[in-house]
Structure 1
Amino acid sequence: MQSVISVENISKQYVIGRRKDESFLTLRDEICSFFGKAKSLFNRTSLQHYGSSEEFWALKDISFQAWQGDRIGIIGKNGAGKSTLLKILSRITEPTSGRISLRGRVASLLEVGTGFHPELTGRENIFLNGAILGMSRAEIKTKFDEIVAFAEVERFLDTPVKRYSSGMYVRLAFSVAAHLEPEILIVDEVLAVGDLQFQKKCLGKMQQVGNEGRTVLFVSHNMGTIRALCNKGLYLIEGNIHKTGSIEEVISAYTLHHASNKGIVTFGQQNTDFVARILSIGVISAGYTNYADTLPFQAPFTVEVIIESNNELEAVVGIGISNSIGEIITTLHSVEIGEEPTIEKLKNLKFKKGINKFYLNINSNILRPGTYIIGCTIFSRSLWQAFDDKPNCITFEVTNHNENRYFDERQSGMVFLSDSQWENR
């Protein structure tokens, strides 16, 4: 069985700045030359800097294969090389080195209005895009009504697309790309432009495309969307492949890599303009004073949050605990959300000026063995404003010393840690 996409040692190099052999001058250079004052205006150092350049590798030795029906989620931080990879696969740009083999028609949606001519109407652009994909006019006419209905732009079909909103652009562009039956569908984060209802329609359509045996490559920063749509993943770090495999494995690697602090994490204090800010978050095992990154199953533990406040105020501390693939399994706040604070709880709202220490004591640890991630947020009393937010910043392990007890690691869901108490000092 042949792969639909075969990528072998793909690299892409860009040049930052200006090459020394580029001879064009700026307007400033021309003016200085005209008045003969270049030497007095620019010293030798600046002239040497002018024309300097730096090589930047957006991708380096990328290799992977995709098979018929694969739905591959490509994830990574901004600047990791995700969009560059999609542009190379879409033949928008050429790689510096390496080889790509694509078997079948490719439809890509990388930017709003990809492949559209702004002066043509929506109707004309449907036929233009179909022709670019290699479809005959008869084939396009067969799918025409479905495309228009899915995009919900029938009223504006004979209007030049330059007058479309960005959301209308995306709806029509995606509908064309998905309905003209390409063997390979490539979609970047562009779907975030559309409204929530249309995003759900798009994800459903991509799921259908994959189930029909076609191949989908999808870039998104939304791990929930990636997990729902894709069955495989590719994780990029600074132009290199860090992890490939099942989507669960790849998302887990991505989430844990960005929460690599174990036991305790501290944050810088460079910003002086703040209401309240988190200085550190730590996990302490019951009976100990040191921070711990490993906790025994069913043993109590404490989450310590040290906060600096610029003034006295009333605020709420929220702790979120996620599993290894980034799913929130529980959230705990220093007051009961939706209830008026009692006298006993009011002390957990009050921040004194300076350093405040909050402790969340979890007396019954019912978290199943595995890896967990903690994030913390400081809210205003009304919960409408977040003074500081530190998501997914610290990890800890729950271990099972009872080897006879079996846990299904695939199970997940919300956990209610009812036996927990807050205190501030």
Structure 2
Amino acid sequence: MPAETTARRPLLHQARKAVRRIEERTPPHRDRAVDGLRALALLAVPLGHWMLGGFTRGPQGALHNASPLATFGFFAPLSWMLQLLGIFFLVGGYSSVLSLRRATERGESAGHWLRGRLVRLGRPVLGVTAVWAGLLPVLAFCGVPQATLRTAAVLVVQPLWFVAVYAGVTALTPYCVRAARRWGAGAAVPLLGTVAVVDFLRYGVVAQQMPSWFGLVNLLPGWLFGYQLGVCWGVGRLGRKGAAVLCVGGAALFAVLLLGFGYPASMVGVPGQARTNSHPPSLLVPALASAQCGAAVLLRERIGRLLRRPARWAPVVVVNLSAMTILCWHQTAMLAAAVPAARLGVVPGLTTAPDSLGWVAARLVWLPVFAVVLVAIGRVTRRFEAPWYGAGRGARAAAGALAAAFALYAFAVV
């Protein structure tokens, strides 16, 4: 018998054992479809950043951010499929309703529940920023160019804005629940209307009179839209008929905005373009979220049936347990490959400009490497998601100081 086959048997046995263990520990009432949707939205974040973000290599091997979207306009539909934040906010709102309900039944106040949620969000963010605050001077001492350090800071901060926004909408959960119980899915309509009015003012005939910061008004309603729909789903005020309206209506609005009103086709920012759809969100964001959320609700039962198989369910559990680790550290995984490669010279798909189909093919080859590096990093950094019981007050204060230092540096360079 080949040695490879013999060596593979223990690994398969361990994998099957882990799958059985996860299946046995899953409560019968667990909503597998919701967890599956969350895992899908989570994995789309690193995949989107790894495929739609690249580097150019400058003098002394300095790395600068670049995007294939600047060259390949036909890549824009890929951003529609990888921009699944609408679904993430949907399942976030749904899960928050259930979590808040359980906390209330235990006699906890909404404030106590919210503090617990925010602490769980904040620990991994504090961890990644503190680590990078210590890592930057080490990299500088090792000769890494300042331009590369600035690029790294931008990439590390890039996914963290989402955590801040998510924390903000989570704080509004009790009010979202009241609105959902009173108006049903109609509670999301004013949010959509607000984004539409802001877009009309900043892109319409009075655009020249609007201050540059005016688009930030859309920050809350643009992202709260999907969360409010999730809350409505959680309290039983969003069913299949409403989901069908959301799906069809959102897709129609999305098409009208693209074809009739000149909205940028990409859901992420493209270097050189004056307008962006996501920072801050334009009307295209809730339009896409509407279509995605409607489809998710309609497919819920089918997804749940698919995830009844233990081999499909186990990876979903692993991804959900590592949610914040994936969000906070996936850019670090890409940088862990790119920064050393930049010192070696031109590496296809990594340090070459993302302006050719050859780069696309090479980047696809790099994706498994990034994933393996992320898993390796996650084995160490997942401890940031758990309570820091072993850390003393001095260690926590030091982590906070380092995180603040990194925040100041990132604010200066972003």
Bigger Rg, structure 1 or 2:
1
TM-score (norm 2): 0.18
| Higher relative contact order (CA closer than 8 Å, sequence separation 6+) | 2
Structure with the higher strand share, 1 or 2: 1
Structure with the higher helix share, 1 or 2: 2
TM-score (norm 1): 0.17
